[in-house]
Copies of this chain bind each other. A is one copy, B any other.
Amino acid sequence: MDELNREAESAPLIKFFTKLQPLAPAVIELCEAHTYRVKIKKNALLVCPEAVCSECLFFIIKGAVRGFILDDDKDITVWLTDENNLIGNFRNPGIPKMNYKEHMQALEDTELLVLPYDLIDQLYAKFPETNVIGRKLLAIHYHISQERSILSRIPSAEARYKQFKETHPLLHFRVPVKFLASYLGMRIETLSRLRKKSKQENNLIG
């Protein structure tokens, strides 16, 4: 691929990083050289393309993705996200208490940028200032995860639904009801009833 295309491909990621920390031209060049776009179909599972890397992160250019775990074969949605977010299995330098494997599934036809861990390791080693970006990104992800954790502990199902709708006004319409119900810790019937009630209220206001 020529340089111009490479530049265009990784532009959204460079923009995202630059908001956290100014990037040296050599850092941008390395990112452009070692990231690449992939497209996956709705419902497909996200896996790192083995040919290029065994371990990677993804940056969502267009589309929406859910994270889920299997607990005794029960599928539980643990996060939902969309454009301009970094997803994947972040390495854990600590000792995990729970043993779970997070899977990822596209909720729509989705376009992603692949960030192989080889690139991430190179960035940290060659350009120590990229650790600042890593630190800030992980702080952001820590807070997003805390929000998910707090949301699920709100006792009223209606309050959880309203909170999600307020904080994710667009994503809310893009997620199939069965996944959203699982994420919000309620039965599909409860979510359908809450959605109907909310629609009626909106109609009254409108």
Q: Is A25 an interface residue (CB 8 A)?
A: no
Q: Is A182 an interface residue (CB 8 A)?
A: yes
Contact across chains for A97 and B147 when beta carbons are under 8 A apart: yes
Query: Which of B71, B135, B142, B185 is A152 in contact with, Cβ under 8 Å?
Result: B185
Size category, A interface: 35 or more
| CB within 8 Å for A167 and B134 given contacts A78-B149, A90-B143, A154-B71 | no
Contact across chains for A148 and B151 when beta carbons are under 8 A apart: no
A71 to B151, CA, bound (A): 10
| CB within 8 Å for A145 and B140 given contacts A131-B135, A132-B131 | no
A155 to B190, CA, bound (A): 14
Residues 63-103 (chain A) with a chain B CB within 8 angstroms: 69, 71-72, 74, 76-79, 90-94, 96-98, 100, 102
